[in-house]
Amino acid sequence: MAEVYRGTQGTLGRKVAVKVMLPKMAADRDMEKRFRREARTLGALQHENIIAVHDLVEKNRQVFMILEFVDGPDVAELIRGGQKLPLDVALIIATSVARALEHAHFRRIIHRDIKPSNVMVSRRGEVKLGDFGIAKEVGDRDLTATGFVVGTPSYLPPELLKGERAELRGDLYAVGVLLFELLSGQKPFKGDGPKELVAAILAGHREKLRTLAPDVPRAVEKIVDTCLAPAADRYQRAADLRKDLEAQVRETGVTNPAARLVAFLYSKQLARVEDLATVDVGELRAADPTLDLSTAQIEALSKAADASLDVPIEVTFPKRRRWWRPIFASLVLAIAAGAVTYAIAPVQTMALIHTTMNKLASH
């Protein structure tokens, strides 16, 4: 539907992501409406775990969406090839997605496309949910043909595959699929083709998470099972899911999620050495004691980062000449002098004024 480029916003000098519709899609009015609706949806959502939209620009009959630039990989890259994530990292990512959905759901927005490629992890340890291209407000009509299901089949809840209307709790089902995949390296439902996959989802045929990942705590498996349960037995609110996930993050002993993510990206060669300077040294060490970098190196980077923030910046503005100031000052002094003179000798002052006015009149 669209391509994303990295750009620089000249007026502010900041990096941005520029999303532009593909030429073959730009000619489709429904696709253009969906693109504009995505921008409006993102504009209404302001949350630390949601990619922000800066502007929507139209030029030469093309529409460009200017988005926050997230410097880091998407989650699909982290699990490519069936890789599993460490328990704490997976929980931090899932918790952040749940927070983003809690904010979106409060505003009655259904994302409808939760999947690894739509979740990004920045080199500063931030988790961002993006691509609201098929998001819709509860009660709004779809911009797709009747009977056509939008979304990625592996992450769609069974009720949606049955043709029922999309609901908020469908997003929570997708979070369960996401967390299952992060911890096991596999999707919960499998099929040789689309029909077989849909049949498995509708029937609920899948392996248990702990069968594929025995080290996962039972409490985490229970969270996944609740997400993947039939709609009536599933989490009904993103806030409830978020609270359960946060409790499990605390159980892992992580005190600074951002530091843990930065350390993890560095261990996978997905973050630079200088990125470590954005995190407190002690918290970085606590997040990953095995980090292959000396404390002295990290401290040097941190000091360099702090020093760059402490450099005073002098801004000199050119002085503009105020031509009216001397005239105004002279006028004020004249009035003040006249008032003082009148106070001391009112009769003489009035006589002087009349004499002066008469002289002026004679000229």
* Catalytic position from the list 74, 88, 113, 275: 113
CA neighbours closer than 13 Å in the CB half-sphere of residue 211: 6
Q: Determine the 3-state secondary structure of 199 from DSSP.
A: helix
d(CA 47, CA 275): 23
d(CA 56, CA 46): 16
Examine the residue annotation and report whether 55 is marked as an active-site residue of this protein. no
Element (H, E) at 275: none
**Tokens 């009216």, located at residue:** 324
d(CA 351, CA 353): 5
In 3D, which of 115, 180, 119, 186 has the Cα closest to residue 153? 115
How far CA 203 is from CA of 157, 192, 207, 257, in Å, comes to: 11, 15, 13, 37
d(CA 227, CA 327): 77
Work out whether the CA dihedral 246, 250, 255, 259 comes out positive or negative: negative
Q: Determine the 3-state secondary structure of 68 from DSSP.
A: strand
Q: Determine the 3-state secondary structure of 139 from DSSP.
A: coil
Give residue 20's Cα distance to chain centre: 19
Q: Are 94 and 179 in contact (CB under 8 A)?
A: yes
d(CA 116, CA 79): 8
Catalytic residues, by residue number, are 113
